[in-house]
Amino acid sequence: MSDLILEVSGLKTYYRTRLKEKVFAVDGVNFALEAGKTLGIAGESGCGKSTLALSLMGFYFPPLHYDSGSISIDGQDIMKLSKEELRVRVSGREIAYIPQAAMNALNPTLRIISFIEDIMKEHRPELNRQQVRALAAERFETLNLPSKVLDSYPNELSGGMKQRTVIAISTILNPKVLIADEPTSALDVTSQKAVIRLMKNLLERKFIQSLVFITHELPLLYHVTDEIMVMYAGEVVERGTAEQMIFDPLHPYTKRLMGSIIVPEEGMKEQRLAAIPGAPPNLKQVPPGCRFADRCSWAVEECRSGAVSTVMSGEREYRCRFDEKTLRGWYANEAAEQDGADHTVST
Ligand SMILES: Nc1ncnc2c1ncn2[C@@H]1O[C@H](COP(=O)(O)OP(=O)(O)OP(=O)(O)O)[C@@H](O)[C@H]1O
């Protein structure tokens, strides 16, 4: 039996603009995630990460629309379910989603326990208030959150505590998949670490079975995730283990993205700060061929016009017309040229 928890195949979703144009922010995305694993999603702003996260819930509210593809959780394609079935059986139970800045969206007039009571009223109506409270207190203590937080109002909590509380509330039904969109942004380093510890704890205790983690902090992805998937202009351009993606990227966009890591982490080769020149294409008019071609140092004419397909290489995949040997050769030449330039400057 396969232990794939989440399988996404050919997923396409779009925003409909006021001029009735379709903006495909998720354009044919495929990936799978095994039980016990964490997938990190990286890419510049506007590449479609948040739209993918939202799309995975199966709920679509204008201007976001579903076009095609499947999203299977533990073998069940949730796109075949009705909205009601999604709401009752899937949302929160099978898959939970923590949007960006969720901690600031908590109703400030309600105590934390009220949010949990609301969830339980819908999903565990057989529990009375005392039982809900006992269950919530036990869960909070297990996750190293003081149970007195349950009686607090959101604004009485620090940013880090509020974020951990949001995560604890969102996972109270033990969803198989947790999708966290930038859960550590706007937090100080200590609070970031506490959030990461909490998410690892949820996995270890099997309160969740897999985690999809979106962040701009690439070094964090290395420490937290098993796999990394890089998106560019609505497409997945590369997916591999965290180790491969950071230390041996294949796609030129991944190469540039990883080259922009500012803070060298322990055990990581020092990276130079290099912003990627140019900007991603307008999703209303995506170019034919490779979408990264206009910003790629190695692009040739065919990259701009010819179809590009995804190449599988063992467990990893990348979307480029060139083979691994060619790509690695280019990167080695570039590194040698940079070393030469550094040497010239310093002598
Ligand atoms: N309501 C909307 N109508 C039209 N286009 C939209 C809408 N919301 C987002 N988009 C477009 O969809 C694309 C993907 O946006 P998305 O927010 O998913 O990217 P992202 O990678 O998550 O960015 P960030 O890291 O800034 O959150 C962008 O080009 C954006 O302009």
Residue 9 Cα to ligand 1 middle (Å): 21
Does residue 27 contact residue 52 with C-beta atoms inside 8 Å? no
Ligand 1 site residues, Cβ closer than 6 angstroms: 15, 17, 23, 25, 43, 45-51, 63, 283
Q: Which secondary structure element, helix H or strand E, spans residue 31, and what is its range? A: strand 22-34
Cβ neighbours of 120 (radius 10 Å) = 21
Ligand 1 probe mutation, 16, 24, 50, most atoms within 8 A of CB: 50
Mean pLDDT over 265-293 rounds to 77
pLDDT band, residue 186 (cuts 50/70/90):
confident
Atom 25 (ligand 1) nearest CA: 45
Angle between helices 324-346 and 252-259 in degrees, nearest 10: 30
Per-residue pLDDT tens over the stretch 115-135: 999 999 999 999 999 999 999
Angle between helices 159-170 and 112-123 in degrees, nearest 10: 10
Ligand 1 probe mutation, 27, 41, 49, 55, most atoms within 8 A of CB: 49
pLDDT band, residue 346 (cuts 50/70/90):
low
Partners of residue 178 on adjacent β-strands: 96, 211
- pLDDT reported for residue 2: 61
Residue 345 Cα to ligand 1 middle (Å): 41
Residue 51 Cα to ligand 1 middle (Å): 6
Give CA–CA dist 247/254, Å, rounded: 10
Is the pLDDT at 260 greater than 60? The verdict is yes
Is the pLDDT at 179 greater than 80? The verdict is yes
Mean pLDDT over 102-110 rounds to 92
Partners of residue 97 on adjacent β-strands: 179
Give CA–CA dist 106/153, Å, rounded: 9
Q: Tell which wins on pLDDT, 329 or 222.
A: 329
- pLDDT reported for residue 243: 92
Q: Which pairing describes strands 235-241 and 316-318: parallel, antiparallel, or unpaired?
A: antiparallel
- Tell me if residue 108 falls in helix, strand or coil: coil
Is the pLDDT at 218 greater than 80? The verdict is no
Give CA–CA dist 107/153, Å, rounded: 9
Residue 230: name the closest of 216, 220, 179 by CA: 216
Mean pLDDT over 327-343 rounds to 87
Ligand 1 probe mutation, 11, 12, 13, 15, most atoms within 8 A of CB: 15
- pLDDT reported for residue 266: 52
CA-216 nearest atom, ligand 1: 25
Partners of residue 236 on adjacent β-strands: 231
Q: Which ipTM was obtained for this model?
A: 0.97
DSSP class of residue 270 equals P
Provide the edge-to-edge strand list for the sheet that holds 76-77. Answer: 22-34, 4-16, 64-73, 76-77
Is the pLDDT at 270 greater than 60? The verdict is no
Is the pLDDT at 274 greater than 60? The verdict is no
Per-residue pLDDT tens over the stretch 31-82: 999 999 999 999 999 999 999 999 999 989 999 999 999 999 999 999 999 9
pLDDT band, residue 343 (cuts 50/70/90):
low
Atom 16 (ligand 1) nearest CA: 48
Is the pLDDT at 164 greater than 90? The verdict is yes
Atom 14 (ligand 1) nearest CA: 48
Q: What is the token pair recorded at 74?
A: 């533990």
Residue 108 Cα to ligand 1 middle (Å): 28
Report CA-CA distances (Å) from 269 to 225, 229, 273.
19, 21, 13
Mean pLDDT over 17-39 rounds to 95
Atom 28 (ligand 1) nearest CA: 46
Residue 331 Cα to ligand 1 middle (Å): 31
Mean pLDDT over 162-175 rounds to 97
Mean pLDDT over 186-203 rounds to 94
Is the pLDDT at 140 greater than 60? The verdict is yes
Residue 227 Cα to ligand 1 middle (Å): 23
Classify residue 73 as exposed, middle or buried by CB count within 10 Å of its CB (0-12, 13-18, 19+).
buried
Atom 12 (ligand 1) nearest CA: 25
Cβ neighbours of 144 (radius 10 Å) = 12
The two most distant CA atoms of the chain are separated, in Å, by 76
- pLDDT reported for residue 261: 62
pLDDT band, residue 258 (cuts 50/70/90):
confident
Give CA–CA dist 250/154, Å, rounded: 44
- pLDDT reported for residue 263: 45
